[in-house]
Amino acid sequence: MLPPFADRVAKCALEHYRALPNGGGKPQASEWTVYASIVAHNSHSGDMWVVSCATGSKCTSLCSVVSSLPADSSECKKVDALSNSSSSSSINDSRQSHKGLVIKDSHAEVLSRRGLVASLWGEIEGNLHEFQAGRRVREDDPRALLECIQSSSAFAPEFRFKKDVITLHMYVSESPCGDATIYEIETTEGKTEVNFTGAKIILSGGEEHQTTNITSLQEEPEGEVKVRLGREQVQIVKKLRVKSSRSNIPNKMRSMSLCCADKIVRWSVFGLQGALLSKFLIEPITLTSICVSRDPRSVDGGQLAALNRSLVERIDETLRAQKSKSHNRSLNALNVFIVDAFFESSKTSHEEKKAIARKRKIGLISKTKCDTDKPKRKAACGMSLNWHRGSASVVEITVGATGLKRGKKAKKLHDVPPLSSRLCRFNLCQTFVRCSDIVAALSNDKWHTDGNRGYLCLKRRHGSYIDDSSFCGPLLNWIRSGKEDDFEISITRG
């Protein structure tokens, strides 16, 4: 794959964003955000189109199931107290279900991947409805990502990504947060330094000797275990990290979502589809390339080197570590590119303006009439937008700090469901339930949960679930979802 192709991917992604209606989700002049898009390319026709896209740079806090509810509200206290009682199952179930309605990680890369998953679910559900009605599954959509495999011995079709025809590429306006952002940059003062990521490193028991480099340590509960986090004096590379947050907020207000660079490594090793969608797919789906807009502060190709180190090398190291427990499948090699395409609302574009202003101030660049004395400080946009193919071209706007759709603030638990995003785990899981119902009806059989309607149980029992032993090498300390992250869903059959 050549760099001109990467430029074309970026152009396609940016043109799509600029054509989206601005219903208040796009950042204002005083704000910046990150934009990510998954672009499909048909190698036969040459056609290129956006499958999903999103903006965002926020996460929800660790302290609350529904972060839009005050942590010290009387209702939360009441639910907390009653949830410890055996006679409070209905209230506990209510709170459990709300966990799946909140999007914990609203970074652009994560939302664009969820949009891809939603688009794939839409294709599968539509084809299953056609098959159930006795009609031939439609294959006339040139932009469909999946093909149906209708075996004479199967009651329902299986699905496979058109990997021989279509490839998927991700464009991101900034280097993915975490390890990929550690590279040498030129500051506004003209000095050179290593960019310091605010993302906290995840420490394991075998790294105690490195604590001399750690300025602070903390332990956070995640599921059934405690995760040890640290902040380094000198950045340690190729390590898993949780997303950054302000240093002056209490630990309970922080996020425990892993950084986007780490998540991209996981997607490249296990696939973009996730556990439940893999029940309907014959093979995993992976990205062919990631194209990132150039950081004007980067020194001597450091940005591209960091992308290769953080993504390509860690993917290769993980696959080598898994060699003894091979998944018996082939993966596309991930390519990374730096493109000159410009996203007007990016943080680095603002940094470039500050650098130009500094150079003009000291006389390295001549001033023009339209120059301002000093670029105004920008803040991160609190809103996220998402769009995906199959969503009737409707843009959805969510609030990154709450993980819910924009609207009147939820004051009680029953206010939350109407505000849930179409990309939240609960709603995506409901699509899995509907598709499983159709397959069960076609086969005159029942799919069951043995009395457990929990999300995690469904993943383990009905999807191609990845067990803990698969997370080795660079993914060794991966934070797994525990019981505290589970929720109940509605099962209509079985």
In sequence order, the 6+-apart residues with CB closer than 8 A to the CB of 290 are 169, 170, 171, 172, 176, 264, 307, 311, 334, 335, 336, 337
| Cβ-defined contacts of 230-237 (< 8 Å, 24+) | 230/200, 230/201, 230/203, 231/200, 231/201, 232/201, 235/182, 235/194, 235/196, 235/197, 236/201, 236/210, 237/179, 237/182, 237/309, 237/310
pLDDT value at position 82?
Answer: 33
- Within 10 angstroms of residue 323's Cβ, the number of other Cβ atoms is 9
pLDDT value at position 134?
Answer: 79
**What does the block give as tokens for 169?**
């590429």
pLDDT value at position 74?
Answer: 46
pLDDT value at position 393?
Answer: 75
pLDDT value at position 180?
Answer: 98
- H or E segment to which residue 106 belongs: strand 105-107
Map residue 134 onto helix, strand or coil: coil
- Within 10 angstroms of residue 133's Cβ, the number of other Cβ atoms is 7
pLDDT value at position 293?
Answer: 97
List the chain domain ranges. 3-193+257-485
Give the span between the Cα atoms of 416 and 452, in whole angstroms: 24
Local mean pLDDT, 10-residue blocks, the chain (494 residues): 89 97 90 97 97 95 56 43 35 58 94 98 93 76 90 78 95 97 90 90 67 62 68 89 75 83 96 93 95 95 97 94 62 88 85 56 56 67 96 90 88 84 94 90 70 78 81 90 77 52
pLDDT value at position 222?
Answer: 55
pLDDT value at position 138?
Answer: 66
pLDDT value at position 252?
Answer: 67
pLDDT value at position 86?
Answer: 33
- Per-residue pLDDT of 7-18, as tens digits, reads 999 999 999 999
pLDDT value at position 92?
Answer: 42
